[in-house]
Copies of this chain bind each other. A is one copy, B any other.
């Protein structure tokens, strides 16, 4: 079985027959997840050079399945280097040796809140109690050089959230992150790491890493064995906010990583909570700034539970139940025709390149200017993107590199 284009419902699709088709496919997918062969293809495509999440989903829509997209890669303007089957098999085997899971978007074990994010990771590696990622989650994040009081507060807050059935997620960094994991560990805590789930970082958190791998869960977008690098952290932060219903910033200096996570949270429509602190402590600056900009002032777990109340009701956390209909990570883009009309004519490609410039332009505007179908433009842009000639920007904008 292949995941057909139809399993990537365009959000606008609303006719009775489309709804029925979508429901049917979701039931099929959520009942058992991907076949082993499909899982391998998803892994290969997601790990292929130049294929980020947005491109991944675009390829899947364009070619109908990961296998078909892998077949097509060499024919595209500038072939993306696909991950070899052998490397993918090695990665899967390594995950299995850790008793871990490779979870693909849309599968029953894929966290439902994260599934709704436009650039959700197509595949996640999880070790530990993977079922924890299906419970309602709240992220507790903050400064690495946190004060003793800040760490104590984070630990107690996480413990209280845990007692209320919330799984506490954080980044397994020093300071607030570590304190939050510790506080929630016996109720359930999930670490989202920037490198591979098997890489301990920082070294001082080794014991906590081992405890989370056993009693909690550790989750990563990057392959096993990846040493975390500076550029990985912002991408990791989007998962911390995206997987949670809300994030709590405990202590954070101005311009700190926690504020990046808070910005992602706002973009993703998540609740942002901030713990006030004295203006005399620079570690309060970030959280106080968030409060000034409308974050919910947080002194106790009750402040969070009250605010999230409506979101916590009617959540289907038990592992056996499918995630609540996630919207497609493709967002409100034009639907690709199911037939996959072939439009890679040079003339059309030249026309699009002529209309593009280094200044980002809306895809809708491009469609209008080129007088091509939305589907044809989407396909051509995808090819140009894979060829490294087009760059995508937030808000469905594109520019020439």
Nearest chain B CB to A279 CB, angstrom units: 4
Listed stretches A27-35, A229-237, A255-263, A270-278; interface member: A270-278
Chain B residue, CB-CB nearest to A299: B279
Complex CA gap A275/B288 in Å reads 10
Complex CA gap A58/B109 in Å reads 74
Q: Which residues of B contact A285 (CB under 8 A)?
A: 299
Q: Which residues of B contact A277 (CB under 8 A)?
A: 276-278
Knowing A292-B297, A297-B291, the reply to whether A278 touches B280 (Cβ < 8 A) is: no
Q: Which residues of B contact A153 (CB under 8 A)?
A: 278-280
Task: Scan residues 145-201 of chain A and give those whose CB is less than 8 A from a CB of chain B.
Answer: 149, 152-153
A300 interfacial contact with B, CB 8 Å:
yes
Copies of this chain, whole number: 2
Q: Which residues of B contact A149 (CB under 8 A)?
A: 278, 280
The answer to whether B279 and A278 have CB atoms under 8 Å apart is: no
Task: Scan residues 295-336 of chain A and give those whose CB is less than 8 A from a CB of chain B.
Answer: 297-300
Complex CA gap A331/B300 in Å reads 42
Nearest chain B CB to A134 CB, angstrom units: 30
Knowing A292-B297, A297-B291, the reply to whether A284 touches B280 (Cβ < 8 A) is: no
Nearest chain B CB to A40 CB, angstrom units: 49
Contact of A276 among B152, B291, B300 (CB under 8 A): B291
Contact of A280 among B152, B279, B291, B292 (CB under 8 A): B152
Nearest chain B CB to A298 CB, angstrom units: 8
Complex CA gap A285/B297 in Å reads 11
Complex CA gap A352/B1 in Å reads 88
Chain B residue, CB-CB nearest to A150: B278
Q: Which residues of B contact A299 (CB under 8 A)?
A: 279, 285, 288
Can you list 24 A-B pairs, Cβ within 8 angstroms, ordered by A?
A149-B278, A152-B280, A153-B278, A153-B279, A153-B280, A275-B278, A275-B279, A276-B276, A276-B277, A276-B278, A276-B279, A276-B284, A276-B288, A277-B278, A278-B278, A279-B298, A279-B299, A279-B300, A285-B299, A288-B297, A288-B299, A291-B291, A291-B297, A292-B297
